[in-house]
């Protein structure tokens, strides 16, 4: 079987869009609430602002605790690197100058609703996935491919949960 995965060093990315029948203000209220995210994510277990901060701003930091069946449990510190209300919210995981990952929500008013995109970049710094690659370097592209498809599915599920909340069709954690 041929794999289309990229080497980790290539900083592979994935982006998933969703159109939501709600104004950007409502969608923004949800995506900028990091405390809501654990109820919408299969991996993220908890999130907590650091340094006395209680809301996003460029330079603000938060710790996220995650769990994955194959990768175990871990905690990371993220740094808000982009924050433009109603448009963009992005954070770099661990070192903002050399992150293990970067995540971004972008909002765009469209067709009476909001086009929401969630994007993520793996690397360039080493992450938990790097240990699996170290153990099986000949399978690096397969490992990266499988993890990126998993991110794509999880992002899709998170965006669908946000859509339901924004459109008034569901509750957090439902």
In a domain, 2, yes or no: no
Structural domains counted in the chain: 1
Burial class of residue 116 (count of CB atoms within 10 Å of its CB; 0-12, 13-18, 19+): buried
- Does any domain span residue 30? yes
What phi, psi does 138 have (nearest 5°)? -70, -15
The pLDDT, as a whole number, for residue 174 is 39
Residue 57 pLDDT > 50, yes or no? yes
3-state secondary structure (DSSP) of residue 60: coil
Q: Map residue 62 onto helix, strand or coil.
A: strand
CB contact at 8 A, 116 and 105: yes
What CATH number should be reported for the domain holding residue 152? 3.30.530.20
Residue 47: pLDDT over 90:
yes
Overall average pLDDT of the 144-157 stretch: 92
Q: Mapping DSSP to helix (H, G, I), strand (E, B) and coil, where does residue 92 land?
A: strand
DSSP secondary structure code for residue 52 in this structure: T
Read off the pLDDT of each residue in 85-93 and give the average, rounded to a whole number. 97
* Domain range enclosing 115: 12-166
Query: In which band, very low, low, confident or very high, does the pLDDT at 1 lie, cut at 50, 70 and 90?
Result: very low
Q: Note the pLDDT of residue 171.
A: 52
Average pLDDT, the chain: 91
Evaluate whether residue 173 is within a structural domain. no
Give the model confidence (pLDDT) of 95-138 as tens digits. Answer: 999 999 999 999 999 999 999 999 999 999 988 888 889 999 89
Residue 4 pLDDT > 70: no
Percent of the chain with pLDDT over 90: 73
**81: helix, strand or coil:** strand
């Amino acid at each position: 079987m041929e794999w289309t995965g990229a080497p980790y060093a290539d900083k592979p990315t994935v982006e998933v869009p969703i159109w939501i029948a709600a104004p950007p203000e409502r969608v923004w209220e949800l995506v900028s609430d990091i405390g809501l995210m654990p109820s919408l994510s299969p991996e993220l277990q908890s999130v907590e602002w650091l340094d006395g901060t209680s809301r996003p701003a460029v330079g603000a930091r938060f710790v996220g605790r995650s769990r994955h069946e194959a990768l175990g449990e871990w905690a990371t510190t993220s740094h808000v690197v982009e924050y433009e209300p109603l448009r963009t919210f992005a954070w770099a995981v661990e070192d903002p100058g050399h992150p293990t990952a970067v995540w971004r929500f972008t909002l765009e008013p469209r067709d009476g609703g909001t086009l929401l995109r969630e994007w993520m970049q793996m690397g360039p710094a080493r992450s938990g996935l790097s240990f699996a690659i170290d153990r099986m370097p000949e399978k690096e592209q397969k490992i990266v491919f499988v993890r990126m498809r998993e991110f794509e599915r999880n992002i899709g599920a998170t965006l669908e949960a946000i859509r339901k909340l924004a459109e008034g069709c569901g509750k957090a954690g439902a």
